């Protein structure tokens, strides 16, 4: 890792673990190989330190935005990860439902229906 990137990586790593959970983040980093490790390091430093660690929005607000954006982009795998992060950040099941209903108007019913399906999986896995 580039020495200049190290401080941002460490700051981002702390936020990433706080939001997504230490087990998930450790597994993602340990699963990286020589090809994918630079991407993990880059995203941890830039997405998590330079964006998630900024002042101005709480982690809960950022999570809520992510749920709407990932619904719009129809990125189910990332949505599942971030539903868990949203719950970790205090977003309630009811708030998640309202985000997806609101997204249905702007992103379309199929995208919202898929987000509801994925959320139900996460809720079942967490027993909520």
Answer whether residue 71 is part of any domain: yes
Q: What is the pTM of this model?
A: 0.90
**Number of folded domains that form the chain:** 2
Please give the span between the terminal C-alpha atoms of the chain, in angstroms, as a whole number.
40
pLDDT value of position 104: 97
What CA–CA distance (Å, rounded) separates 73 from 75? Answer: 5
- What percent of the chain has a predicted confidence (pLDDT) above 90? 95
91: domain CATH number?
1.20.1290.10
What gap in Å lies between CA 44 and CA 76, rounded to an integer? 20
1-5 contact pairs (CB < 8 A, 24+)? 1/41, 5/41, 5/42, 5/45
Q: What is the pLDDT of residue 109?
A: 96
Same structural domain, 39 and 97: no
What pLDDT is attached to residue 3?
79
Grade residue 2 by pLDDT with cuts at 50, 70 and 90.
confident
Whether residue 68 lies inside any domain: the answer is yes
One domain, residues 98 and 116:
yes
Range of the domain at 36: 6-52
119/67 same-domain check: yes
| 1 assigned to some structural domain | no
Residue 1: pLDDT over 80: no
Instruction: Give the pLDDT confidence of 56-68 residue by residue, as tens digits.
Output: 999 999 999 999 9
Statement to judge: residues 15 and 64 lie in one domain: no
* Residue, of 36 and 2, whose pLDDT is higher: 36
Mean pLDDT (whole number) for 87-91 = 97
């Amino acid at each position: 890792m580039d020495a200049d990137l190290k401080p941002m990586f460490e700051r981002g790593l702390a936020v990433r673990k706080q939001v997504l959970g230490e087990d998930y983040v450790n597994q993602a980093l340990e699963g990286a190989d020589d090809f994918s490790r630079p991407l993990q390091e880059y995203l941890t430093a830039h997405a998590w330190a330079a964006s998630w660690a900024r002042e101005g929005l709480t982690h809960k607000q950022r999570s809520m935005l992510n749920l709407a954006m990932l619904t719009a982009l129809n990125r189910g795998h990332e949505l599942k990860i971030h539903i868990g992060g949203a719950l970790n950040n205090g977003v309630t099941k009811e708030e998640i439902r309202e985000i997806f209903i609101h997204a249905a108007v702007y992103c379309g019913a199929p995208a919202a229906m898929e987000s509801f399906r994925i959320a139900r999986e996460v809720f079942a896995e967490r027993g909520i």
